[in-house]
Chain A
C-alpha cells in the first residue's frame, strides 16, 4: 500500500508542480508566498520572528494557505476533468488513493512552510542579526514542524471531505473557504461570547499553565481530530458511491 500511496503522491506533485510547464514556472508560482512570508513579514517583525514562542502560531497557520489553494481540486477536479472513473477502475485501493491525495497536499504545504521559515530566518539574520547568528530554538523548531504538519493535515482532510462531496472545483473551493474562515474565527467569536467571569478564569488558567504542557496537549488534541477526520474521509470514500455522485 505504501508503494501505491507514493504513486498517487508522485502523480499529484507532477500535476501540481508542472502545471506551469517547467522549473521556472514552478519557482514563479511559489515566489509570492516566499517573498511575502519569508522576506517582507520577518524583516518587519525582527528578532521576535525567530526567538519568540508566539511565532509558533505562524508555524501552525502558514501551511493552511497552500492547502486551501490546492486541496479543493483533489476529487472535485478529477470528477470535473472526467479522470475519476478511470482512476477508480484501476487496482489502486481506496485507502491508497485517499492517503495519496492527502499526503501530496500535506507534503507540499509542509515543505513550502519549511522553505518560508528558512528564508525568514535568513532574512531576520540579514536585517536584524547585527553579526550575531539567530536560530530558532530547538523546542520551537521541533514543535513548529509538528504543528505545521498537524494543521496541514487538519485542513487537507477537511478539504478532501468537502472535495469528495462537490461536483466542481469551484464549489469545493467556496465551501472550503467558508470552512477555513469558520476554523479561524469561530474560536475567537466563541471565546468572546462566553461569560466574562469564565473568560477571565480561562485566561488565568492559560497564564498559569505550563506552556510546554499546554502546547503538547494542543498537539495531542489536534492529532486526535486529524485521525477522526481521516476516518470520516475513509468512510465517505467508497468507489460505488463516487461513481454515482
Chain B
C-alpha cells in the first residue's frame, strides 16, 4: 500500500462570503512532487496555510504525515519545511545566520547544524556568500536560500508556494534545476503551487488543478493531457492541395484541419490510428517527411479547465 503524505476530505475554508477552498479532497502519496495549479486567488496559498495548521478549516478535515491539522498542527510544522509566498529571510542577517536561526528552531545539534548548512549552501552555490547580508542579494539567490532553509532539517515533506514567481527566466530555470536535483537526492515529498505550466510539467509526478477553491482535475500530467485534450496528428510534408484538405475534413473521425505552410494539423474526435489517413495522403502525392501523434499540452488542459463554466 502506498504511504500517504497528505489526505484532505471535503476541506473547506471561507472568509466571509468568499469560499477560498471548497470541499477539497486530495490524496497525495509520499515521495512525489505534487503540483497544485491555479490562477491567482484560486485558493492555493490558503490550502497550504490550512495544511500547515496556520488557518483552521471552516469544515472538513486534513491530515499531513498522519497528523490532523486541527489537533496536531505543531507536529506538522515540526516535520515539514515551507517556502511561502515570500522568501521570509531576515535581510539584516547573513545567509549563514538565517540558516543558523532556523537550525536552532528545529533543534539541530550544533555539529549537525554546521555540516548541514555547509552542505546546503554548497549545493546551492551560495557557500562563498555565506557571510553577506541577504538584503543585498538578487531575488533568485534569496529564493535558493529560502529553499535551503526549507530543507535544512531534512523534512519528509516541503511546501513550496510559487517558488519561481518574480524570477527572470534564467534564474527560474536554475532554481528549477536545483529543486529537481535536491528533491531527487533527498527523496522528499513536495507540495508545489505554481501557475507556471512548464515548471509543473518538468517537476511534478501528479498535478491538481484548482479554480475558485474547487479541485477541477487531478492526475499524472500525461493522463490529464489525454483526458482533457483531443488527440491530434501533425504531418510535415509538401503537396497538401485544397481538394485533399476537403477530403480529410470530410472524414468522420476528424474534428478540424489546420494548414500552416508545410505543417498539417489534424484534430481527431477520438484516439484512432493515423495509418489510413497517411496512406491516402501518400497515394494522393503528398511528400510526407514526418508524422507525429500527440495530445493537448498541459497549458491547453489548464486553459480548458479554467474556461469550463
Q: Does A201 contact B (CB under 8 A)?
A: no
Pick from A2-10, A58-66, A218-226 the stretch touching chain B: A2-10
Could you tell me the distance between the alpha carbons of A82 and B55 in the complex, rounded to whole angstroms? 17
Q: Is B92 an interface residue (CB 8 A)?
A: yes
Bitwise interface map of B from 49 to 63 toward A, beta carbon under 8 Å scored 1, else 0? 100111110000000
Is B182 close to A, CB under 8 A?
no
Out of B54, B87, B91, B101, name the residue touching A240 (CB < 8 Å).
Answer: B54
Assess A82 versus B49: contact at CB under 8 Å? Given A10-B101, A89-B54. no
Residue numbers in B under 8 Å from A7 (CB-CB): 101, 104-105
Chain B nearest CB from A99 CB (Å) reads: 15
Annotate A77-116 by CB proximity to B: 1 below 8 A, 0 otherwise: 0000111011111111100000000000000000000000
What is the number of contacts between chain A and chain B, taking CB atoms within 8 Å? Answer: 70
| Bound-state Cα–Cα, A18 to B107, Å | 23
Q: Which residues does chain A contribute within 8 Å of B15, judged by CB atoms?
A: 244
Is A89's CB under 8 angstroms from B89's CB? no
Binds A, one of B29-37, B77-85, B202-210, B244-252: B77-85
Is residue B299 within 8 Å, beta carbon to beta carbon, of the partner chain?
Answer: no
Q: State the majority secondary structure of interface residues on B.
A: loop
**A11→B89 CA distance, assembly (Å):** 12
* B126: interface (CB < 8 Å): no
Q: In the assembled complex, which residues on chain B have CB atoms less than 8 Å from the CB atom of A86? A: 82, 84, 86-88, 146, 149
Q: List which A27-83 residues lie within 8 A (CB) of chain B.
A: 81-83
Instruction: Say yes or no: B88 contacts A240, CB within 8 Å.
Output: no
- Nearest first, the 3 A-B pairs at minimum CB distance are A86-B88, A82-B86, A91-B78
Q: B-side interface residues toward A, CB under 8 Å?
A: 15, 49, 52-56, 74, 77-78, 82, 84-93, 97, 101-102, 104-107, 133, 146, 149
